Amino acid sequence: MAKETGVLESAKFIYENSEDVRISKEGCEEAANVIYDAIEAEYYSTETWSNHLLNPKEKNGSTIDWIFLVDLLNFSFWSDYDLKDTGKSDTKRYSVKWDGHNWTGYWSLCALVNRALAEGIPITSPSFWVDQEKCTDELLCYVFRSNNLEKIPMEKERISCIREAGEVLTKKFGGSFKNCIERANNSAVELVTIIVENFPCFRDENEYKGRIVKFYKRAQILVSDVWACFNQESYGKFYDIDKISMFADYRVPQILYNIGCLQYSERLKSHLLSLKLIEHGHPWEIELRGCSIWCVEILKSKILEKHPKSHINSVLIDFYLWDTAKKNQQQSKSGHDSSIPCHRTRSVFY
């Protein structure tokens, strides 16, 4: 059984060799105090996961199927239309109208899944995904349909992920991700390993300075969403959840910079401010993601040094940072919060 995911080892290597992204120890010291106080004040825990309007309230096998599909498709929601990154649907960015609200970003994904289920489309069923007579590409495009001018980013890639995952689940895991969970024997690390070894679209790895580095963003958030949804019980009971790192995307690095934890070279900062693309696999992308993971580990260690009885781990810090970044996006007129946009990389991995 796997003892580590390899993500933290990779993040440490990236941090030690990074040329354009640095971690501010002073910034982390200040931020750790703020983050701890905020998480405690808001009673941040796994119990808050189900509070969101779009997240499932029931806790059963169907819920597992919902979580798996959402995290299977949980990537690349930044917009080519909403250049100020306001997150608002009136910018013509991709949005999904559901339950009286126009949802954008990650929440548009949750909304489209709920919309399809309400329309009688068994979109969370892996056996449906592999039945291409019923689950046609045209039907999936209908499921992904936008309430705005912009289509869902990477539509073809999302359809490919659904087909691939359906084949793996039906042929190797009895048609449901819950069998992967049971095979992991309450180990979060083992479940991540099962995911990345069997589902290529979750195998989030790159080469950096002659070495393969691992991020596993969607695999780790899939495990963590199960953990949070089931409130650390039943399918969500993992004895080693603290070995899961933060989920290296494009949103959390942004807030880590804006609260003073990350520092960028002038050339990287200029590139980000000009809203230029960063190709997947570019050293800048790898350094942004790897240093963000290691930064959250530093934040966690500083919090636990002062509060050794705290329940805080990297997953909860990530949940808090992501939620805070989205709140800041909604409250800011520009969307960029204060100083830096998120990096613009198209990838199925985040």
| 249 part of the active site | yes
- Could you write out the three-class secondary structure of 119-184? CCCCCCCHHHHCCCCCCCHHHHHHHCCCCCCCCCCCHHHHHHHHHHHHHHHHHHCCCCCHHHHHHC
Which residue is associated with the tokens 């992991």?
184
Of residues 65, 85, 225, 249, which has the active-site annotation? 249
Residue 171: count of CB within 10 angstroms of its CB = 11
Question: What's the CA angle centered on 223, arms 108 and 181, to 5 degrees?
Answer: 120
CA 346/CA 350 separation, integer angstroms = 8
Burial class (CB in 10 A: 0-12, 13-18, 19+), 331: exposed
Tokens of 89: 């649907």
Q: How far is CA 339 from CA 259, 260, 273, 280, 285, in A?
A: 10, 11, 9, 23, 18
Tokens of 269: 């900062």
Nearest to 23 by CA among 216, 302, 223: 302
Evaluate whether 78 touches 344 at the Cβ level (below 8 Å): yes
Question: How is 77-132 classified by DSSP, letter by letter?
Answer: ---SS-TT----GGGS---EEETTEEE-THHHHHHHHHHHHHTT--TT-HHHHT-T
Please list the active-site residues. 249
